[in-house]
Amino acid sequence: MDKLGSMKMFIRVAQAGGFAKAAARASLSTAAVSRAIMELESSLQTRLFNRTTRQISLTDAGRRYLSHCERILNQVELADAEAMGASAQPAGRLRIHATASFGQHYLTPLLAQYTAQFEDVRVDLVLSQRTPDLLEEKFDVAIVVAQNLKDSSLVSQRLGSTRSVLCAAPDYLARRGTPRTLADLEHHTCLQLNLQDMPSAQWVFEDVEPNSFRTPKPAPLTVNMAEALAQAAQAGMGIGLLPVPTALQCVREGSLIQVLPDVRTLPHNIYALYASRQYLDAKIKTLVEFLREAVPQKIAEHEQALDAARARRDRAMACVE
């Protein structure tokens, strides 16, 4: 019998006041119970019970050992209950990694809603432009934006998809002209966003032949943050391919204009990655379920807002003309 099992049997015998009663409660033979206690005493090199033909009683060492055993087993039961509760009730620290732009524009506002719903969860959010090693870096979940995932042992849940839009500053378009077709981009300065899972020099579009456009070389600027690319475009450096939420505020305020709005880029998928489906912690399960519902709604809101902002500008320009 293992040590915890021996402790449990010792407590049963002490509480029952005899081997036979303890054996009956445990559905074991008296001989098996007696043997377990003798093995425990042998391993401890200590006598735990005084035995007579009529009764047993705890020795001084046995009383002290009983107190320790009860405390230890109480802690084990608490640990078991907490671990089992992790799969039922979201609680504790939830460590999440996400790409910077998605984390800033989508994940952070949604996490405010999630933590309001699950108040016992504490979120540790790390933003960077890479895909971490979940196990090595002790992340519970990674949110990745990519056209396709690399093969791995991680579990992936698709949360939705998002697109990017071409934008440029009004003064740049005034100097260089507004492109009307993809072919016109060959004559423009194209800024590049260099992300880990997305080729920076190739812009891929839907329903276009050919569907990819390789930006002219050399690019005057390559950067790994969408917000920095937006600032460069606002400064008139060229045309940038920006995620919708990054472009949205700039288009609203008029510092950027959406170029070729009818040409749709190939969407990038959004995935939640985590280690295993088996015995999934409740805080991971509830987060992924929450994001699967909330992310598509948030993306749709941003795309509708961008369309509305572009339509307002078009109406304003029509009035001026």
As for how many domains the chain has, the answer is 3
158 shares its domain with 274: yes
Residue indicated by tokens 């377990």:
36
pTM, whole model, 2 decimals? Answer: 0.70
Q: What is the pLDDT of residue 166?
A: 95
Residue indicated by tokens 């230890």:
72
CATH number of the domain encompassing residue 41: 1.10.10.10
Residue indicated by tokens 């992924």:
288
Residue 136, Cβ neighbours under 10 Å: how many? 7
- Model confidence pLDDT, tens digit, residues 209-241: 665 666 666 778 888 888 999 999 999 999 999
Identify the band that residue 204 occupies on the pLDDT scale cut at 50, 70 and 90. Answer: confident
Residue indicated by tokens 């010792």:
10
> Does the structure show a pLDDT above 60 at 321?
no
- Going 244 to 249 to 253 to 256, the CA torsion angle's sign is negative
CATH number of the domain encompassing residue 146: 3.40.190.10
155 shares its domain with 225: no
Average pLDDT over residues 309-313: 85
117 shares its domain with 172: no
Average pLDDT over residues 85-108: 85
Asked if the structure places residue 308 within a domain, the reply is no
Residue indicated by tokens 């902002």:
309
CA 138 – CA 142 distance, rounded (Å): 11
Identify the band that residue 82 occupies on the pLDDT scale cut at 50, 70 and 90. Answer: low
- Model confidence pLDDT, tens digit, residues 27-48: 889 899 989 999 989 888 999 9
Distances (CA, A) of 119 to 78, 87, 91, 112: 21, 16, 8, 10
43 shares its domain with 158: no
157 shares its domain with 277: yes
Q: What is the mean pLDDT of the chain?
A: 86
Q: What are phi and psi of 145, to 5 degrees?
A: -110, 115
Instruction: Dig out the tokens for 44 from the structure.
Output: 């401890």
CA 160 – CA 110 distance, rounded (Å): 14
